[in-house]
Amino acid sequence: MYWVGYSILSGLVGTLKNITTKEGLLHTFESSFALYMSLVSTIISLIYNIIYKVPFNINGNAIIAGIFLAIGILLIMNAINKADNPGLPIAFYRTQCILTTILMSILFNSKLSYYKILFMCIVIAGSYILAKSLHAEHHKSIQNTHSYVDNRIKNIVPVQNWIILSILSGIFVSGKDVFTKYALVSKNSNMFNFIFYILLVQTILFVIYEYYISGKIELLQKNTQIIANTKDVVYTIITGILFYLYNYTLTVACKIAPNIGYVKSIDCLGIVATVILSNIIFGTKLNIESYIGIGVTILGVIGVSI
């Protein structure tokens, strides 16, 4: 059951990452911030591997997993930008934990527990309720403006159905999960080598994407189109460090868990922790719907864990 502990730990580290990301995104575009966060994580991984003499053998499975993960992240970013309610694409995206569970059962003969799938559905429902309630409060605080939407994506990326984008995002991330399990268990790949190549490939694809939508590679501030200040850079570095730790704890959990889908469900606990800490640190308002979402999510996570 060590995988449960690592899954919870990944959710908590992810919470800290989400908090620093929230602060960093107050002035910086999401895709620009994600690029440099990923770059910092890649550099940390590189330094660690050099110090501890981790082999740099090219890992084909990690490269494919990195491509799948980067595409999945970019798709869900676009889906959130296109949807009126970001809670909906997030809910569709979270269904990937069920797809991953089924794929693990088929490809790796992992035991398929139907009651765990039931609790996964409860986690997804809780995540949706929570995201929906927070979106409603956010609308009130900004007086129904859409200043939080990155119009560079709106204007450049062809208009597509956010439902399709969300579903495709989940499929690609599930594909990443399959190659992760195959590389770490079936092929017994070095975990730190695997993490490095995932981060490296992801960063390269983020560079290409950022250049595509903005024509430049800078840590840009919203609306002003100028390079971000020192404070934003500091938040980017801190978030990059946390992102590396998040990838490490999540990868360990995925390696030793009987099914990666279970890990992804428990990782949703990070959403709850993020909301609670945001309420304490940033004064984010919670309503009755928010508390219901928190309770439902925790119930689902407990069910998946036991």
The per-residue pLDDT for 142 is 36
Angle between helices 87-94 and 60-82 (to 10 degrees): 150
CA distance 184 to 196: 13
| 42 alpha carbon, distance to own chain's centre | 16
Sequence-distant (≥ 6) Cβ neighbours of residue 259 within 8 angstroms: 100, 101, 104, 105, 110, 111, 112
The per-residue pLDDT for 246 is 94
The per-residue pLDDT for 183 is 96
Domain positions in the chain are 2-305
Sign of CA dihedral 199, 202, 208, 213: negative
Residue 212, strand partner residues: none
pLDDT tens figures, 84-136:
666 678 777 888 899 999 999 999 988 778 888 999 999 989 888 887 776 55
E strand or H helix at 45:
helix 30-51
The per-residue pLDDT for 278 is 80
CA distance 8 to 14: 10
The per-residue pLDDT for 2 is 85
pLDDT < 50 regions, the chain: 138-148, 156, 159
Which residue type occupies 230? T
Residue 220, strand partner residues: 227
Angle between helices 30-51 and 2-24 (to 10 degrees): 130
H-assigned helices in 109-183:
114-141, 151-156, 162-181
Secondary structure letter of residue 183 according to DSSP: I
HSE, CB side, 13 Å, CA atoms: give it for residue 29.
27
pTM attached to this predicted model: 0.84
The per-residue pLDDT for 227 is 60
